[in-house]
Chain A
Amino acid sequence: MTPSRRTDGLSAGRPAQGGGRLSRRHFALALPSALLVSGCAAPHRGTGRPGDPVVLTLLSHYASGELKEALRGPVDEWNATHDRVKVRTKAVEFTDLLTTFMVRQAAGQGADILHPYCLWNGQLVRAGVLRPAPAGHAEEIRRGYSAAAVGAASVGGRVYGYPTEVQTYALYYNKRLLRAAGVDGPPRTWRELEETAYRTTRRDRYGNTLVQGFGLSTYDDSTTVGQTLALLNAAGGTFVSADGRSTAIDSPAGRAVFDLEHRLVARGASSPGVNVYRAFPSGQVAMVISAGWWTGSLKTLMGGDYRDVGVAPLPLPEAGGARATLCTGFMLGVNTASAHPREAWEFLRWLNAERTGGEKGAVATRMSALQVSVGSLTGRADDMRTLLGAGAGNGGAGDPNLRPFLDALAYAVPEPNMPGAQQAKSLLRKNIEALWTGRRSVEEALRVTRRQVDQEVARAW
């Protein structure tokens, strides 16, 4: 709090009387025009009168539940302590987020601050939606976050925003089911993974699956593709080439992953039709690859049974190889169309980079505290250690299952985010689902994926 801001606060607080008179006159003026445009306020420009605060809009998918509440905390704090710049949050569901960014941008009603899934950064940068981070902020981001998080928030080597929620992928397993099948610990290699999967699979006498050894999610793009890309990265492969203009999945590593998944399905250890996000918590799946956010949901869903859940780093094809897994995430960036970029970046720095003492005295950024409070992580490894180490009982803090996700920050590979990345991801999803349902062989699935994704990402724009 600088003195000047405090004075602003005083002067802003005083003219309540005048404001009342003003607003009545304005009401009289506004009524006909409101009827004319039927009560639709001009988009996010604020009032534009000198002396009035700048209003920044922030559009995210934190639309409901604990995420909405978690974001409200710091935003309320900012608004209570800053008189010159106010932040107003808007939210839509994640499934509508990209379309909402694009449509509102097309309509000249884009929010000042956007919270995109990093996968879309290439598309949003190409469309001229995102503003590159100013040098000072870019420097701060590069220094403060893990390489994967910075990579996900960058396009063509340029940083576009502050990474927020970061998800790494690891292996969830049910300790009870593994013990019951006589397996001591989580698998470390793919061979062990397969053996464990077959040994834990259980059926009734009619052939119905009671326990899947290894669950494969077909729930949505992110979970379906996430598990496959995590395995691909662990095998040393990547989805697209470094320049983002062609696929790299039709490789020995890609083949190995497709082969592995195909075998698991063919031998009955995986039943992709079953919703693993319901089956795992009810003890019907022994192992599944998923991201860190799931620990929070599992805790709520499973209650006391959560003690059966273990998390291990992603198994590697061979023992002793270099660890790797997938990293996905979101970032907060500033709209090129924003009239107040300086204020927007200022707010983002305050939210993401300024450290404060939390309730339990752990010093961390507001965003790190926010994410940990909902059982998630940010790309700030130091913050994560502090917050998780503090062992606070709220949310995800103190859960040993978060450790593997935290450790993975150091070696995880960012999800490719070239233009067309979302389309490429959907195409990959359709092909691996075709592989799992037996509509395509491994060879065919690899070939078709390569053809379709190449056509998509190589398009001249």
Chain B
Amino acid sequence: MSRRRFPWLSSLVVATGAVLTVVPFLDMVMTSFKGPGESGTLPYRFLPQAFDLSNYRAAVRQLDLPVLFRNSVVATALITGSVLLTSSLAGYALAKLRFPGRDFVFRLVLSTMMFPPFLFFIPHFLILVHWPLAGGNDLSGRGGAGLTVSIAALAVPFLVNGFGIFLTRQFMVAIPDEVLEAARIDGAGEFAVWWRIVVPQTKPVLVTLGLLTFVDAWNEYIWALLVSTANPDVMTLPVGIQLLQDHVDPARTMPIVMAGLVLSILPVLLLFLLLQKYYIRGVMLSGLK
């Protein structure tokens, strides 16, 4: 019907948009192969003269890749693990347990989504610095470097996610009470009910949430930049690559940076392509809340 009119026009619009979306990525890949004197010179050429791997070698040499990878992986794993655990625990309590103050807590969870992250930048940093008994601090949180000495500093502000709690709760509400009640009569404690019944039943939403969290955590830049400025030992991949530009041979800066970028986005890209069904559902869910 009217939905099917102008198919060629629609194809044209969508294809143009798709090309515009993909071309920067292709340009990144192409640039990562360009030799000295090939990038940033006029006239612009899309293809490199030869697919030379020297920029990748330079990126690997300049970046302390094992350390950057380790930091990114540890921080991302901490965040993803913690968000999944805390969301499903709290989501279960809010969905399936009856207790005084439930509505208040639920509203609190919803309201946390209202506060923009920039509001917490300064206080979070200072709280980490003055964390008692960490990094040489005394009990009053003074005298040392606090949690900023630890990789955990990268993850701490992101360990709990209001949207994650909300999302899991909405899914857990749909689990029939009878199933849980039957398990309780069989003598299962609440923890066993949560672990044996609720978690398995909500696996799809947990995969979705995990994927959303993983991608965000892996790509996080501003907080990681701040923490790595305080302590370069915990630098993550995005920060390392951003700082790379400052100290490589200027004639080859961009190709080397692009090579580093290709290496750093590959893991997420592959994960996304493998599990995109779950990821896309997560974005749709966030749109329907």
Residues of A in contact with B (beta carbons under 8 Å apart): 36-43, 45, 63-64, 93, 95-96, 99-100, 103-104, 106-109
**Docked pose: A108 CA to B148 CA in angstroms:** 9
Residues of B within 8 A of A103 (CB): 226, 229-230
Residues of A within 8 A of B247 (CB): 63-64, 93
12 more CB-based (< 8 A) A-B contacts, given A99-B229, A108-B145: A37-B150, A37-B152, A40-B233, A41-B149, A42-B149, A43-B136, A63-B247, A103-B229, A107-B125, A107-B145, A108-B135, A108-B136
CB pair B136 A93 closer than 8 Å: no
The minimal Cβ–Cβ distance linking A32 to chain B, given in whole angstroms, is 14
Q: Which of A40, A96, A104, A106 has the most CB of B within 10 A?
A: A40
**Docked pose: A106 CA to B127 CA in angstroms:** 11
CB pair A107 B74 closer than 8 Å: no
CB pair B231 A109 closer than 8 Å: yes
B157 contacts A by Cβ under 8 Å: no
CB pair A43 B126 closer than 8 Å: no
Q: Which residue of B lies closest to A109 (CB)?
A: B145
CB pair B231 A106 closer than 8 Å: no
Residues of B within 8 A of A95 (CB): 246
Binary interface encoding of chain B residues 24-39 relative to chain A, with 1 for a CB under 8 A from any of its CBs, else 0: 0000000000000000
- A selection of 7 A-B contacts at a CB cut-off of 8 Å is A38-B74, A40-B150, A42-B135, A93-B246, A100-B229, A104-B229, A108-B129
The minimal Cβ–Cβ distance linking B223 to chain A, given in whole angstroms, is 12
B 130-145 contacts with A by CB, 8 A = 135-137, 143-145
Residues of A within 8 A of B149 (CB): 37, 40-43, 109
Residues of A within 8 A of B126 (CB): 106
CB pair A39 B148 closer than 8 Å: no
CB pair A109 B230 closer than 8 Å: yes
**Docked pose: A36 CA to B133 CA in angstroms:** 14
Given A40-B234, A96-B229: A106 touches B129 (CB 8 Å cut-off): yes
**Docked pose: A372 CA to B140 CA in angstroms:** 48
B 234-266 contacts with A by CB, 8 A = 234, 243, 246-247
5 tightest Cβ-Cβ pairs between the two chains A and B? A38-B151, A107-B230, A108-B145, A93-B246, A37-B150
Binary interface encoding of chain B residues 148-184 relative to chain A, with 1 for a CB under 8 A from any of its CBs, else 0: 1111100000000000000000000000000000000
**Docked pose: A108 CA to B150 CA in angstroms:** 13
**Docked pose: A136 CA to B148 CA in angstroms:** 36
Q: Which residue of B lies closest to A100 (CB)?
A: B229
Given A93-B247, A108-B129: A39 touches B233 (CB 8 Å cut-off): yes
Residues of A within 8 A of B136 (CB): 42-43, 45, 108
From A38, A93, A106, A109, contact of B125 by CB (8 A): A106
Residues of A within 8 A of B143 (CB): 108
B210 contacts A by Cβ under 8 Å: no
The minimal Cβ–Cβ distance linking B70 to chain A, given in whole angstroms, is 8
**Docked pose: A36 CA to B145 CA in angstroms:** 16
CB pair B230 A106 closer than 8 Å: yes
**Docked pose: A95 CA to B229 CA in angstroms:** 13
**Docked pose: A63 CA to B70 CA in angstroms:** 24
Q: Which of A41, A42, A43, A64 has the most CB of B within 10 A?
A: A43
B282 contacts A by Cβ under 8 Å: no
**Docked pose: A39 CA to B74 CA in angstroms:** 12
The minimal Cβ–Cβ distance linking B214 to chain A, given in whole angstroms, is 19
CB pair B246 A107 closer than 8 Å: no
B91 contacts A by Cβ under 8 Å: no
Given A41-B233, A95-B246: A107 touches B148 (CB 8 Å cut-off): yes
From A38, A93, A96, A100, contact of B150 by CB (8 A): A38
Q: Which residue of B lies closest to A103 (CB)?
A: B229
Residues of A within 8 A of B243 (CB): 93, 96
CB pair B129 A107 closer than 8 Å: yes
Residues of B within 8 A of A96 (CB): 229, 243, 246
**Docked pose: A244 CA to B226 CA in angstroms:** 31
The minimal Cβ–Cβ distance linking B236 to chain A, given in whole angstroms, is 12
The minimal Cβ–Cβ distance linking B268 to chain A, given in whole angstroms, is 21
**Docked pose: A38 CA to B227 CA in angstroms:** 14
**Docked pose: A104 CA to B126 CA in angstroms:** 12
Q: Which residue of A lies closest to B145 (CB)?
A: A108
Given A107-B129, A107-B146, A108-B146: A40 touches B230 (CB 8 Å cut-off): no
Residues of A within 8 A of B230 (CB): 103-104, 106-107, 109
Residues of A within 8 A of B145 (CB): 42-43, 107-109
Residues of A within 8 A of B137 (CB): 108
Q: Which residue of B lies closest to A94 (CB)?
A: B246
**Docked pose: A41 CA to B145 CA in angstroms:** 11
Q: Which residue of B lies closest to A104 (CB)?
A: B230
CB pair B231 A40 closer than 8 Å: yes
The minimal Cβ–Cβ distance linking A73 to chain B, given in whole angstroms, is 20
The minimal Cβ–Cβ distance linking B41 to chain A, given in whole angstroms, is 14
Residues of B within 8 A of A100 (CB): 229
The minimal Cβ–Cβ distance linking A337 to chain B, given in whole angstroms, is 10
Q: Which of A40, A42, A95, A107 has the most CB of B within 10 A?
A: A107
Residues of B within 8 A of A109 (CB): 145, 148-149, 230-231
Q: Which residue of B lies closest to A107 (CB)?
A: B230
**Docked pose: A104 CA to B74 CA in angstroms:** 22
**Docked pose: A36 CA to B78 CA in angstroms:** 12
Residues of B within 8 A of A107 (CB): 125, 129, 145-146, 148, 230-231
